[in-house]
Amino acid sequence: MIRKILSQDRDDLLDGFLLVSFMLSLPFYTFASGMPQPADLAMLTLLGRLSISQARARRFPSGLREHGAPLALFVLYSWALTLVWTLRLGEVRMLVYPLFYSYNLAVFGGSLLLFLRRGDRFLRVAMHAAAATLILQVLLSPLAIQAEALRQSLFLNGPNQLGYFAILAGTIFVLGDARRPVHPAYLILVFATAAYLAALSLSKSSMLALAMLIVITGLRRPWLLAATGAAALAIFFLSDSQTLLGKVGERLFSIGSDFDDSLAGRGYDRLLCHPAQMFLGAGEGAFWRFESFIMGEVHSSFGTLLFAYGLPGLILFAIFLGRVYQSAGLTSFMLTLPILFYGLTHQGLRFRLLWVLLAFLAAGDGKGDRE
């Protein structure tokens, strides 16, 4: 399918192969979280090829400049702020956080450059790669399920990562379907596999977000809800995971009763305990500085932006998202509401697939401004 989409052009085939390799290998973690993973080899190779071709072109596509500028300013601010706090506290480990955002900027910029230059073909490649990686995880899940564990991670380093991956990959596919509808059976299969992976993770936010995505998509196709539920049940029973349905029910009905099902449990109380940090930002890391119900980072993308990078960081990131959604349109905005919902309860800004999704959105209709 990929070769048919890309035709016989050697550069197209190689870049398409690298993009697909990155997305297929993304949920396979070999090292600890925060360390480079096998997928990064494919991405870095792709970024290297794009850098060489961009140097020859000598001019950035206007869409890349428009969307990348506020994100680049945010990354520069994260470096400046973190350097100040590092020098003040002597916590060199804090420098790893702006390094993450620098890499995310490169992933976003490289993916967007690819989508703008190659157009709708590569948007479809990303869409089908997202479906393929979900299906692959389901097929391989019997090899990684740990019978003694309540929540599963499969080949990732944590159940929340698995749930988040399922939402992101499912959303990329649905965004592609909104541009160019696929066969209904294909859409149902992708939703069912994503639902199964989210259920394995037993991440409450992931399961709720995926349910939101299915409902929003099903507003135009009511039959989709029943068909997806039937397909998900079939996958559950075929995988000998009947008891998973009971676990999902218990997990969802426990919402509000667990210690972390509160604003304080997600770290939002830190904003009240240290309100002055919201002006310029406290940086990420050195969490011993803060009075909070939980230790470690704030469990929220938006909370992290406000507390760690203050109003300047939040405003720059909001401008970036505003420009992305301006290109994407209202339908795409609605389809990504579940991702925004997930970001209220988890810090998801470092997950690489998010930045491919944002580039997918920023590419708009896929016509781009190829040079």
Other beta carbons within 10 Å of 269:
18
Q: Assign 371 a pLDDT band (cuts: 50, 70, 90).
A: very low
Least confident of 60-64, 129-133, 297-301, 348-352: 60-64
Q: How far is C-alpha 68 from the geometric centre of its chain's CA atoms?
A: 17
**Residue 250 clears pLDDT 80, i.e. is over it:** no
Least confident of 233-237, 332-336, 364-368: 364-368
Q: Assign 236 a pLDDT band (cuts: 50, 70, 90).
A: low
Q: Report how far residue 90's alpha carbon sits from residue 109's, in angstroms, rounded to the nearest whole number.
A: 32
> What's the pLDDT at 157?
92
Alpha carbon distances (Å) from 135 to 24, 57, 140, 169, 226? 10, 38, 9, 11, 20
Tell me the average pLDDT of the chain.
87
**Residue 82 clears pLDDT 50, i.e. is over it:** yes
> What's the pLDDT at 105?
96
Question: By percentage, how much of the chain surpasses pLDDT 90?
Answer: 53
Q: Assign 288 a pLDDT band (cuts: 50, 70, 90).
A: confident
CB 140 within 8 A of CB 155: yes
Higher-confidence residue: 292 or 40? 40
The tens digit of pLDDT for each residue in 156-170 reads 999 999 999 999 999
Which ranges constitute the DSSP H helices of the chain?
Answer: 2-6, 10-25, 38-57, 62-89, 96-118, 120-144, 159-179, 184-201, 204-218, 223-238, 242-253, 269-273, 277-280, 301-328, 330-335, 337-342, 352-362
Region 253-276 average pLDDT? 79
Please tell me the number of Cα atoms within 13 Å of 201 on its side-chain side.
30
Region 278-296 average pLDDT? 88
The tens digit of pLDDT for each residue in 145-159 reads 888 888 899 999 999
Which of 185, 183, 177, 208 lies closest to 331 in space, CA to CA? 177
Q: Report how far residue 273's alpha carbon sits from residue 269's, in angstroms, rounded to the nearest whole number.
A: 6
Which of 93, 5, 11 lies closest to 53 in space, CA to CA? 11
> What's the pLDDT at 100?
94
Q: Report how far residue 94's alpha carbon sits from residue 283's, in angstroms, rounded to the nearest whole number.
A: 8
The tens digit of pLDDT for each residue in 25-55 reads 999 999 988 888 999 999 999 999 888 877 7
CB 95 within 8 A of CB 330: no
Region 1-9 average pLDDT? 57
Q: Assign 370 a pLDDT band (cuts: 50, 70, 90).
A: very low
> What's the pLDDT at 8?
53
